[in-house]
Copies of this chain bind each other. A is one copy, B any other.
Amino acid sequence: MSKPFSFRLLKTDGDARRGELITPHGKVQTPAFMPVGTQATVKGLMPDNVRATGAEIVLGNTYHLMLRPGAERIAALGGLHKFMNWPLPILTDSGGFQVMSLSELRHIDERGVTFRSHLDGAMVALSPERAIEIQGLLGADISMQLDECLKLPASSKEIARAMKLSLRWAERSKRAFEGRVNEGYALFGIVQGGDDLLLRAESVRELTGMDFQGYAIGGLAVGEPQEVMLKIVAETAPALPAERPRYLMGVGTPHDLLEAVKRGIDMFDCVLPTRNGRHGMAFTRFGAINLANARHAHDARPLDEQSAHPAARTYSRAYLHHLTKANEILGAVLLSTINLAYYQTLMAGMRDAIAAGSLAEFHAETEAGWAKGDLPAL
């Protein structure tokens, strides 16, 4: 039997938490940012390069992997860790979010969801039990329950219906997962309830009664203003059990991460650092920088001489501008790397600050750096 999944809360600073996840594939220091490896690859990066950014865990997508190459195939090939050559922890989502955002024809009922594959048009069924089965076939260290994730704005009635359905699916997911808890794996329940604080509170109450290994806050960053998201996080996170990790799904910008950690979140995932990197955007301690901008064309300076990552210290802005304008793969590769490294540096900074009881100062300094903006062009 593997070492069981656990979470150690090491230190708090206000609502912010410094902790450590222990999983079958190793430890993860929290607050943690998980790069997204949608199709069994963090886009463009070799696993060693992902590790070199400081990442200790990546996210895999049930929806994409069940359609291609298929969960049974990955299992036959030894599981997702081996398949993608990533020996560290993996969290997989349940597929619910992508079913809503990517598949055109879908039908939700009590049993689950059926949808048309965006790849070949085949009709595919996903139930809470099948989502757990798939994540087990992938070998995820942390699995997520299937939930129904609405876009906001939505009516209270609709939000309540989806939240309650997600609770019933949470129970079924937990039952389906039972044997795997003893093997050291974790299942997280997902708090739903849209932008309605009462529904969120009800979801928290019911979910925590079921006792998951961790809790996610889902259904945010789906169209609502940032202040609404942060309000929900601020009210929801402290209501979750202190001894369990808290994961804010699909979030976010560097500023979102700062604000959400302050409100008690331990884990994040987001495509922004890699997606924006593929489009010429760099995240830095000077804020976001658009390398496509002509002001970089002559600029011999690197993005950040003080970066912990060599890619941000080595390549000139002029070179990154050139690669971006020329649509060269290496531009996507370097900027994805630089962005993931910045996200990890930001998380490490928050972890150190929480440990030192100085998160407010770190927060203020970081925001001041962004507000000051980029170094003036030469």
Contacts and interface: CB of A to CB of B under 8 A. Distances in A.
Interface residues of A, number: 36
A316 B41 contact: no
A40 B324 CA distance: 12
Interface string A296-335: 0110100000000001001110110111011011101110
Count of chain copies: 2
A46 interface: yes
A46 B315 CA distance: 11
A40 B314 CA distance: 15
B322 A329 contact: no
Interface string A328-344: 11101110000000000
A69 B326 CA distance: 9
Interface stretch (A76-84, A208-216, A255-263): A76-84
Given A76-B298, A300-B77, A300-B78, A69 B322 contact: yes
A175 interface: no
Contact of A334 (B46, B76, B332): B46
Contact of A297 (B69, B85, B298): B69
Contacts of A333: 44, 46, 329, 333
A298 B73 contact: yes
Contacts of A69: 297, 318, 321-322, 325
A40 B330 CA distance: 10
B330 A46 contact: yes
Interface string A202-228: 000000000000000000000000000
A57 to B, nearest CB: 18
A333 B45 CA distance: 8
A68 interface: yes
Contacts of A297: 69, 73
Interface in A66-94: 68-69, 73, 76-78, 83-85
Given A319-B40, A330-B41, A333-B333, A325 B68 contact: yes
Given A44-B333, A333-B44, A68 B298 contact: no
Contacts of A319: 40, 77, 83-85
Given A69-B297, A73-B298, A300-B77, A83 B318 contact: yes
A275 interface: no
B329 A329 contact: yes
B39 A329 contact: no
Given A73-B297, A300-B77, A43 B318 contact: no
Contacts of A334: 46
Contact of A39 (B44, B73, B78, B322): B322
Contacts of A326: 39, 68
Nearest to A331: B41
B328 A43 contact: yes
A318 B44 contact: no
A269 to B, nearest CB: 18
Nearest to A45: B330
Nearest to A314: B85
A315 B85 contact: yes
Given A39-B326, A43-B330, A85-B314, 11 more contacts: A39-B323, A44-B44, A46-B333, A69-B297, A69-B322, A69-B325, A73-B297, A76-B298, A76-B300, A77-B300, A83-B319
15 contacts: A39-B322, A40-B322, A41-B330, A44-B44, A44-B333, A69-B325, A73-B318, A77-B300, A77-B316, A77-B318, A77-B319, A83-B316, A83-B318, A83-B322, A329-B332
